[in-house]
Structure 1
């Protein structure tokens, strides 16, 4: 029985996790360490991704700006109007609004840059987090160093492979589940790819209501990460925050974040709405596409709200 069916999430000892971290880390590999694994993506990779565009169907993956407090949005985004056209003339009248967000949570679609995650006090490539990240911003691995991310995207729609609408919160995804989804979709994760994993979180939320996604969420188990390292992905995203919750590693609340960002230098996309993309891929009968992510250029920023786009 697959782990999706059983919902297994075996515990991982801290010593085993630390050994895995050491085995997967790629520190010192990239000339531009601040971009990490996206160093795999050059002009040739981008051209091959563009060649995947056939129908021209464009699918956005970002959530609506979420200003409503809830169990999965404890720090709602801000949106208010600063000018309603009632300022003194001359013409024309203008309307202006303000937005802001503490976006590293469960309510905003966002990109995690390499400065976002440290493990045992070290950022990706070994720099001391306390020295490189402070109130003035990150001096290594900021989102401005990443710039626009354009590459081949691959969607693995795990509920579709299982024959369900969604994975239940707490359900762990293992390497065998990813391989089964590849086979079912007729696609293979390759070097430099952006891998997007659908668990059906937002279909479940719309049907059954919100829950505390910090306490329980479907996502990758740490045992799935070596496959991603072997395949050489450049970017990882999901409709959750990529980690199964609760964490299987005692004392490490986000072990997949630690392995991908801090060990492998792989930026993450959290809280994507993959429902429309899953439908578009099913209609097209293919699960590879051009993926475009354009974060805000925030010098020193640990990430950015984003609205990634897939083009089929």
Structure 2
């Protein structure tokens, strides 16, 4: 895709925003109380499945600055008579290439603006004055839909550099007898986590499977509310000449979609396949970071 073609899609999607210049919730507006109540009917098995990968505190090819998990003294060996407490502290980069996280609408700056034309300089040394992850402070609850692209293609995973196309999305929907629609929380599996678990970490910043930007207009037409993946959602290297992270730009900046990156779908995919259904109740609860550009997250699927 050329930069001119990309910018044409970007401009068209921005013009289609239905909520007006003062909106700060983006596609979360598609999740109404009616959508939440309807999503409750997805629960049939009474089974919960976590969608986050375990946080790693050791360096890897895709995680050179891992989370730091430190225990505070006194430790258990020092505990004597009476009450003692085990206490720990964690510090981490939210927007890395390994840990599961959600991107706020202030995360992606393009041509000097954030979502809905908010100036980029509203993000400063003390965080984001607008569009922070606190937009989702009430939590995100709705119908989740998993589209398993490797399953549909008949492979274990998509190789780094490969892209999920519109045809892939439609084929997965057909094969799984499911259709993503208004207010849905859509997860697209490329098999990134399975490849990482079986072959080891690699420099995912340089090479990873993701969505082709041409998929975003289809998802916009469907009026989905949230988008997530087991990789970064963007293919690397970028498929758009001169534009890095085109899917992030179209999703977060143009459409106001909260993105979830580097989730883990192995258990969810097997559970959905065994149940013969690929939709479920989904609950997402970001941390309360009033000026944060994102948050660590562990979405829960309830089937």
Same-fold call, TM cutoff 0.5? yes
Q: Is the 8 A contact 2:149 2:189 kept in 1?
A: yes
> Shift in Å at residue 206 of structure 1?
1.6
Question: Which of 28, 50, 54 is 2:44 aligned to?
Answer: 54
Q: Does 1:15 align with 2:11?
A: no
> Shift in Å at residue 90 of structure 1?
8.4
Q: Distance in 2 between matches of 1:23 and 1:281?
A: 35
1:270 maps to which residue? 261
Q: Distance in 1 between matches of 2:57 and 2:102?
A: 19
Q: Does 1:294 align with 2:282?
A: no
Q: TM-score, length-normalised on structure 1?
A: 0.93
Deviations 1:262-306 (A, max 9, x none): 000000000001111000000110000001100000010001000
Q: Distance in 1 between matches of 2:129 and 2:108?
A: 14
Q: Does 1:95 align with 2:86?
A: yes
Specify whether residues 135 and 28 from structure 1 end up closer, same or farther in structure 2 by C-alpha distance, changes over 3 A only: farther
1:9 maps to which residue? none
2:149 maps to which residue? 158
- Matched position secondary structure for 1:115: coil
Q: Does 1:182 align with 2:173?
A: yes
Q: Is the 8 A contact 2:21 2:116 kept in 1?
A: no
2:237 maps to which residue? 246
Aligned length: 300
Q: TM-score, length-normalised on structure 2?
A: 0.95
> Shift in Å at residue 210 of structure 1?
1.2
2:192 maps to which residue? 201
2:117 maps to which residue? 126
> Unaligned stretches of 5+ in structure 2?
none
> Shift in Å at residue 211 of structure 1?
1.0
Deviations 1:232-288 (A, max 9, x none): 111000000101111011222100000000000000000001111000000110000
The ranges of structure 1 where at least 4 consecutive aligned residues each deviate by more than 3 angstroms after the TM superposition are 85-91
Q: Distance in 2 between matches of 1:254 and 1:76?
A: 22
Specify whether residues 30 and 86 from structure 1 end up closer, same or farther in structure 2 by C-alpha distance, changes over 3 A only: farther
> Unaligned stretches of 5+ in structure 1?
1-11
Deviations 1:78-135 (A, max 9, x none): 10101325789883110100011112011110000001011111100101101x1101
Question: Which of 50, 64, 68 is 1:78 aligned to?
Answer: 68
Deviations 1:188-211 (A, max 9, x none): 000011110111111111211111
Q: Is the 8 A contact 1:34 1:142 kept in 2?
A: no
Question: Which of 138, 144, 147 is 2:128 aligned to?
Answer: 138
- Matched position secondary structure for 1:216: coil
Question: Which of 247, 251, 271 is 1:280 aligned to?
Answer: 271
Q: Distance in 1 between matches of 2:23 and 2:132?
A: 11
- Tell me which moved more, 90-99 or 43-52: 90-99
Q: Distance in 1 between matches of 2:230 and 2:79?
A: 45
Q: Distance in 1 between matches of 2:112 and 2:296?
A: 25
Q: Distance in 1 between matches of 2:100 and 2:20?
A: 27
